Structure 1
């Protein structure tokens, strides 16, 4: 039974045992990560009395690795077997997160350790994510990539729904530092599940005379010369910058402006994530209805304007308004992500997947620490509400590069013959 035949014959990606294990591992890791999405900033705000700028710096530290090591990570991943790399990254992340409750119990936890944990976890996540996106096309045929990415987005969005509420409740009951332990457990369970995958994977052959810098440059050239990948990188990088502003400011805004408790904060973020789950469930059908290329720009054009409701949240109903606005934006973001990730996986030659994904992660996720720092600075100087207003205005500009690109005139991916020709030309 070949990999390309199994999913189709058994009813899609879920008919493949190895994909089910990959999906379960993703569920375990995402569940823990979403608990920590609430718990880690609350450790800083409630336990360590961190300022808005310090919370912004903590958020920046979590994503700094995408900017610092994002490009060489792709070349390293292309030289390695992907599955063992993901397992090692999970183990590193589990140990780093477990150090937070251990230090808090010993009475020695401080912001310096919080920054260190965020940096280490972020570096491991760079390798895990690049390897994960490069491993999926080895499990599934091209025609199953949208369904496979959609299933992974359903898992991620489901974790975003359940995780923050669970995290807020754990913080309320056990304390913020102990809630972080849930993330360590999630990463450890993910590693165990990934160990069960049987898909054989040989170490990629080393290119004769190839240097790390040369391999990195080849991935950068492929992305830079491809008009569709360039514009996806620009729009996503812009969106992630302002998403990072939101991530850096939202806990401070909900706790100190709307005066919500930990449980309420978790419930607001969980309610907001319902939009992302709905987007994941609908992404495949929306792509078939409107076209995989067209939905990339249409999804964010239709939903990003709801961001203007964030800074308008006040009083008792403020949490509900904040959650509703976030849910609408998250719906479009998830539909966009399923479409563009599947789009670029199908465009890229297999040997360049790691470098292509790493180059795009560098360009798209490298803006996250910059946005988080910007959010912290604006919130510290002018208040969290002003920072959210700047964030909302920024979201309105995200669809612009997509609307000015060839994607606006396309319905679906170019024919295979055109993709092959472009890949040969771009890699030369």
Structure 2
């Protein structure tokens, strides 16, 4: 059951049940949960504003695919470089303080860059004029693009530690019986703000002044900090203190070994890495695809067309736990991969903004179903004293590949343009991703069955109830429980 977290340690007071994916839904999620929910909603609205403002600013400075991809690469590279150290820090210090500190740094960085945009926004050409060759890049475009890359990199560094700490907070805010419901609501709100409300709002604000999305994001982050600091309870990792010298290699290695020995979570991490790399290859130049293939040269149009994902995410957040209970975790994950293969292929073949939006709806449902199942699974299986490090290793594999995909996407378009022409060079990454998703589906079938997932959960519950924090292990040549992919 979920306990009210107003007093005392903010941690579950009852062991998780072994009822499988169809867990209890009754009972309040608690005041702390709703503070975390509100903070995440605000910060993700700000992220949605930035997702449009940053690439739109880049598209007013250059039409070179690799240079625009460089901005996205700068924001994702920290996940490859800093994920493992961030996990060590998350498991040693108060996770609430870490989240608030990183958000304060983000406020300062964005506020400083907003001043730069205010000073230069009058000199920037419209992207359509730049694409048509009737306008030239502004003076100092290279310097401004460099500052944009630096901002993206520094914000990415903050986000690595912030997001890893925030995800571990959830396991302390609600009981394990309610993780699917809590994560589903949170994922839905985050995705709605990030992709449904933020992008079109950014488009409207850009029409007024390019600096407005940056300014509003700083304010939203500041409000989110206050809510995080209002969480009541202790959010230090159980049994851990901040005293003593950090043994970086040993502590990172402990998380790495735990994940690598757990066959199910290792498989999920590698699958996520493949999917995120393919998504990055396809979407890194979405702003150019929208402008030049779909003909959407206004900021509000670009913001609107990418809201389909958020609509699907909201729908998915409402039904993800029911889908998992009805179909089983394994079949739900298979379906999510298959839907993504379909949506990437459709986007790559169409010139209709409406079709792209509808494909985004399907993709949003699939993304949230995958996230709710896998994030809840990690929070339930991983011991608390290792949660930050193992989550960080998981994200190293799962998110570190985004930087690789970002670079590959830009190179693919630039290299393909002389042979395919500009339009089909922009379509090619989506078609490639759609085909590769089918390969991932074939790889997942024998490895992610529902029986295997439920067996892993039951084993973790037994170990945690007995005070044993060990990974699922199987001798060489012996399969995991539930190897039958039909389940």
Fold conserved (TM > 0.5)?
yes
- Structure 1 residues 20 and 386: CA distance shift in structure 2, 3 A: same
Shift of 1:155: 0.7
Which of 86, 89, 114 lines up with 1:76 in the alignment? 89
- 1:357 corresponding residue in structure 2: 391
Which residues of 2 match residues 283-362 of structure 1 at below 5 A? 283-314=320-351, 318-362=352-396
C-alpha contact 2:106 2:155 (8 A) present in aligned 1: yes
Q: What's 2:428 paired with?
A: 386
State the SS of the aligned residue for 1:366: helix
Separation of aligned partners in 2, 1:29 and 1:19: 15
Does 2:243 correspond to 1:229? no
Structure-2 change in CA distance of 1:411 and 1:294 (3 Å):
farther
Structure 1 residues 195 and 336: alpha-carbon distance in aligned structure 2, compared to 1, 3 A threshold: same
SS of corresponding position for 2:235: coil
Superimposed CA distance per residue, residues 375-417 of structure 1 (whole angstroms, 9 cap, x where no aligned partner): 1111222221222222322333332332121535446353534
SS of the aligned residue for 1:335 comes to helix
Residue of structure 1 equivalent to 2:280: 244
Report if aligned partners of 1:276, 1:334 keep a CA contact under 8 Å in 2.
yes
Counterpart position of 1:102: 115
Q: Tell me how far apart the structure 2 counterparts of residues 323 and 393 of structure 1 sit (CA, whole Å).
A: 20
Aligned to 1:264: 301
Q: Deviations over 1:293-330 (max 9, x none)?
A: 4423332234432220111122xxx1111111222122
Q: Aligned ranges for residues 199-218 of structure 1 at < 5 Å?
A: 199-202=233-236, 204-205=240-241, 211-218=247-254
C-alpha distance in 1, partners of 2:434/2:190? 24
Change (3 A) 1:387 1:5: same
Q: Are 2:25 and 2:181, in contact at CA under 8 Å, matched by a contact in 1?
A: no
- In structure 1, the residue matched to 2:174 is 140
Distance 1:226 1:298, change over 3 A: same
More deviation in 411-420 or 137-146? 411-420
Q: Distance in 2 between matches of 1:229 and 1:415?
A: 11
Q: Which residue of 1 aligns with 2:162?
A: 128
Identify the range of structure 1 (280-289 vs 378-387) with the bigger mean alpha-carbon deviation: 378-387
Q: Partners of 2:214 and 2:360 in 1: how far apart?
A: 24
- 2:438 matches 1:396: yes
CA distance in 2: counterparts of 1:90 and 1:427, whole angstroms:
35
The equivalent position to 2:205 in structure 1, one of 170, 182, 194, is 170
2:188–2:368 contact (8 Å) kept in structure 1: no
RMSD: 2.5
Counterparts of 1:416 and 1:388 in 2: how far apart (Å)? 39
Alignment pair present for 1:156 and 2:170: no
Shift of 1:122: 0.5
Q: Is the 8 A contact 1:13 1:19 kept in 2?
A: no
**Residues 1:33 and 2:86 aligned together:** no
Query: Bigger shift: 195-204 or 332-341?
Result: 195-204
SS state of the match for residue 449, structure 2? helix
Structure 1 unaligned spans of 5+: none
- Look up the SS of the partner of 2:62 in the other structure: coil
Structure 2 residue runs of 5 or longer lacking an equivalent are: 6-11, 15-22, 121-139, 417-424, 474-487
SS of the residue aligned with 1:412?
helix
1:130, 1:426 → 2: CA distance?
20
Q: Which residue of 2 aligns with 1:91?
A: 104
Shift >3 Å, 4+ stretches: 1-6, 8-14, 206-210, 408-428
Q: Distance in 2 between matches of 1:63 and 1:281?
A: 29
Counterparts of 2:192 and 2:403 in 1: how far apart (Å)?
Answer: 25
Residue 417 to residue 322, structure 1, CA distance change in 2 (3 Å): closer
Q: What CA distance in whole angstroms lies between the structure 2 residues aligned with 1:9 and 1:224? A: 31
State the Cα deviation string for residues 31-87 of structure 1 (Å, max 9, x = none).
Answer: 0101111111000002x2252111111111111111001111101111111000000
Residue pair 2:80, 2:401 contacting (<8 A) in 1 also: yes
1:273 is matched with 310
Q: CA deviation at 1:215?
A: 0.7
Residue in structure 1 matching 2:217, options 178, 183, 191: 183
The structure-2 alpha-carbon separation of the partners of 1:413 and 1:123, relative to structure 1 and needing over 3 Å to count, comes to farther
Matched length: 421
Residue 426 of structure 1, aligned match among 465, 471, 486? 471
The separation in 1 between residues aligned to 2:27 and 2:201, in whole angstroms, is 31
Question: Is the CA contact (8 Å cut-off) linking 2:78 and 2:153 kept in structure 1?
Answer: yes
Q: Distance in 1 between matches of 2:235 and 2:56?
A: 41
Distance (whole Å) between structure 2 residues aligned to residue 102 and residue 320 of structure 1: 36
